[in-house]
Amino acid sequence: MNVLIANHRSEQVDQLKLLLERYNPEINIVKVVASTSEALNILNRLKQQIDLAFINTQLSDGSFFTSDAELEVQHPLIFTSNSEKDAFRAIKANAFDYLLYPLNTNQIMNSLKRLSRFNPKWNKTEKPRYKKRLMVKFGDKLQFKQVDDISYAYADGKVVYIVTKSSQRKYIVDHTLEELEHLFLNPDYFFRINRKYIVQIDAIHEVRQYVNSRLKLILNPASDKDMIVSREKVPYFKDWLNL
């Protein structure tokens, strides 16, 4: 149950997140974006992963209702707005629903219950499905790597790599760390230890105390990177490892 939120008003985003969590804690907010261009980029690039988008009618770059938006978007959309003036345009864009701020629990509940009749992914009992393999770039070739073989993933600037256990080589993946964390990698086996790194549980050989209440991980196979669990992540990491 992967959700995209497009809204440039932080207080409205926080309200929507809270209501979605109350309705179903398993709903996964993949990304929050502020502009139409960002929303369309994600919707078109992650067609198979995004289940629903909450789109505010007015975004940081103006109205969502451009000709490109109406032509390109083929996902279930729930539009949000401060007024009813864009309701007709939302209908033309095949909106599933049109909700007015301030939102409330009943609005969200009724809308998502109706959605579950059309899309089984929104049944609360359905478990998320994670990737078993990822497409990677190696030189001028595209290959598939088994997710079970991933030791860790990391970001170097705007490029994201995975490192496999079997080859101990790094491979470029065409996804952000956020997408790997929330869409493709099972959180039972993968944990984001800081902004740059995601580690696989079976690759952790040893956990050591580190400065400033952080933890340092020793991986097997060994890594030439410093695998440091950030201080704010430490309690969640310990829960994940059942420490």
11 assigned to some structural domain = yes
Task: Provide the edge-to-edge strand list for the sheet that holds 190-192.
Answer: 141-146, 133-138, 170-173, 159-164, 150-156, 197-200, 190-192
Q: Are residues 6 and 117 in the same domain?
A: yes
Whole-prediction pTM? 0.60
- Strands 77-81, 97-100: pairing kind: parallel
Q: Clarify whether residues 32 and 112 are in a common domain.
A: yes
Please check whether residues 31 and 105 belong to one and the same domain: yes
- Do residues 116 and 25 share a domain? yes
Domain-ending residue, one of 66, 89, 122: 122
Domain shared by 53 and 72, yes or no: yes
| Phi-psi label, residue 94: left if phi above 0, alpha if psi -120 to 50, beta otherwise | left
Query: Which CATH number fits the domain that encloses residue 19?
Result: 3.40.50.2300
107 and 206 inside one domain? no
101, 187: one domain: no
- Give the total number of structural domains in the chain: 2
Based on the fold, state whether residues 161 and 142 are members of the same structural domain.
yes
| Each residue's pLDDT expressed in tens, for the chain with a length of 243 residues | 789 999 999 999 998 998 898 788 888 999 999 999 899 888 888 877 888 999 999 999 989 887 555 445 567 899 999 999 999 988 888 889 999 988 888 889 889 888 887 766 666 545 566 889 999 998 899 999 999 999 999 999 999 999 999 999 999 999 889 889 877 898 899 999 999 999 999 999 999 999 999 999 999 888 888 999 999 999 999 999 986
Same domain for 113 and 171: no
Place of tokens 């959309």: 77
- CATH number, domain of 231, equals 2.40.50.1020
* Residue 127 maps to a domain: no
Q: Which helix (H) or strand (E) holds 162?
A: strand 159-164
31 & 72 share domain = yes
161 and 96 housed in the same domain: no
In a domain, 128, yes or no: no
For the packed helices 10-23 and 105-118, what is the interaxial angle rounded to 10 degrees? 60
Whether 168 and 98 map to the same domain: the answer is: no
Instruction: Provide the residue range defining the domain that includes 21.
Output: 2-122
